[in-house]
Amino acid sequence: MDVTTFRVDLVRTVDESYPVVVGRRLDERIAQFLERHRDRRIAVVTDSTVESLAVPALAAALGDRAFDVFAFPAGEASKTRAVKERLEDAMIARGFGRDSVVVALGGGVVTDLAGFLAATFTRGVPYVSAPTTLLAAADAAVGGKTAVDTPAATNLIGAFHQPSAVFVDLDRWLTLSDRHIREGLGETVKHACLADAAFFGALEDAFVRQGMTPAQFVRDDALAELTARRNCEIKRDFVVSDVHEGNRRMGLNLGHTIGRALETAMGYEMNHGECVAVGLALQARLGERHGYVGAADVARVEALLRSIGLPYRLPAGVSVQAVMDAMLHDKKGRAGAIRFVFQKGIGGLVTFDGGAYARPVDAAEMRDFLASQAS
Ligand SMILES: NC(=O)c1ccc[n+]([C@@H]2O[C@H](COP(=O)([O-])OP(=O)(O)OC[C@H]3O[C@@H](n4cnc5c(N)ncnc54)[C@H](O)[C@@H]3O)[C@@H](O)[C@H]2O)c1
Ligand SMILES: [Zn+2]
């Protein structure tokens, strides 16, 4: 019998644009936006902590509009396929179907998990992202990456699914712990280092010169707004030019090669933002050796991190070997190769041959460098 072949011609052009709204008391805005999805049933997905902090205000704004809340225990341990499955089953049991719209109300764990759930529920429903932490606003809200963790690696199973809209309510930051605000500021300093010298200057002015505390920061309308907006805009500028992480989006990994390895080597004793802060400072110091950053700019990066209350040196006693092992076996990286992103002065990135945003760093050089930084 002859073989039959035919093509399914399917070139997709999709407009996945969405608005990002930053301000205070945004519940009414979220309710207004959901009017566009009048024909859909609202599933608010949140965690056990945010449920009591943020659902009452959203419920008041929604007024007569019916909605169901699906909450799971707060914490990274919930970001699993099993919890996603439980939420899906609960939604199905309550009669949710293709006519659903998900509201992801919470930190990065909620927006990642609820976004992934929305990506696959009846093959995909729209979702509104309402990040309630500075970290989620700074890093998770824009970009469309959704995922859950597995025992093998974090964020290993997921999908690209863009939200219909993002609402960053700065009032939500008022209940965050100082440590968690600092963690979000770690990612914020990363964005300033790689893309915006003026933003870096504004952060320096607040934290280095005025000695602002995390509690004062979240109450400072102008700086909180600037922080949320510039984080989301910088992330947007990188992702729109590289939606599926070919090259440019790699630039957002600044400070993360060492940062992630340190997180693993320390057995997750330090949080992600703290490890990124150390990674940022060390990337600047290594960059100084290569002539990408001057000594004065390295000192500015360190002074900003220090003033925020973030670490900027390898913690005492950490094993260089353990950091090296983690770096060389990064499950999401290419085994055996250390790909490194470098900032160029303050507010830019170094580009390499062919416009690449990352370059390989020899393992021996990295080991020597880390050994020289260990105390
Ligand atoms: N998708 C992406 O591009 C991306 C980017 C960066 C980080 N992430 C993910 O984000 C997660 C980390 O984000 P996170 O720190 O926001 O995690 P999280 O959602 O676990 O929030 C941290 C803690 O703060 C609590 N919380 C949330 N909002 C609060 C509020 N307004 N007041 C007081 N407490 C509040 C939560 O209940 C939780 O206990 C990780 O899973 C990470 O992988 C994703
Ligand atoms: Zn990060």
pLDDT along the chain (375 residues), means of 10: 94 92 98 97 98 98 98 98 98 98 98 98 98 97 96 94 98 98 98 98 98 98 98 94 77 96 93 97 98 98 98 95 91 69 97 90 95 90
184 CB less than 6 Å from ligand 1? no
What is the token pair recorded at 294? 């001057």
Nearest to 196 by CA among 230, 160, 167: 230
328 CB less than 6 Å from ligand 1? no
Alpha carbons 365 and 343: distance in angstroms, whole number: 18
Q: For the chain, give the longest Cα–Cα distance.
A: 81
Q: Give the H or E element holding residue 147.
A: strand 145-148
In terms of Cβ atoms closer than 10 Å to its own Cβ (0-12, 13-18, 19+), residue 235 is buried
In the prediction, which pLDDT does 280 show? 98
Task: Name the closest ligand to CA 191.
Answer: 2
> pLDDT (tens digit, 9 = 90+) per residue, 168-177?
999 999 999 9
Instruction: Report how many helices (DSSP H) and strands (DSSP E) the chain contains, helices first.
Output: 14, 10
Task: Name the closest ligand to CA 175.
Answer: 1
Structural domains in the chain, sorted by start: 20-175 (3.40.50.1970), 178-373 (1.20.1090.10)
- CA of 102 from ligand 2 middle (Å) equals 25
9 CB contacts (<8 Å, ≥6 apart)?
none
175 CB less than 6 Å from ligand 1? yes
Closest ligand 1 atom, residue 48 Cα = 37
- CA of 277 from ligand 2 middle (Å) equals 10
Q: Which residue has the tokens 């805005």?
A: 29
Task: Name the closest ligand to CA 177.
Answer: 1
74 CB less than 6 Å from ligand 1? yes
| 79 φ/ψ sector (left φ>0, alpha ψ -120 to 50, else beta) | beta
> Looking at residue 318, what DSSP letter applies?
-
Closest ligand 1 atom, residue 184 Cα = 15
139 CB less than 6 Å from ligand 1? yes
* Mean of per-residue pLDDT scores for the chain: 95
CB 358 within 8 A of CB 339: yes
164 CB less than 6 Å from ligand 1? no
In the prediction, which pLDDT does 45 show? 99
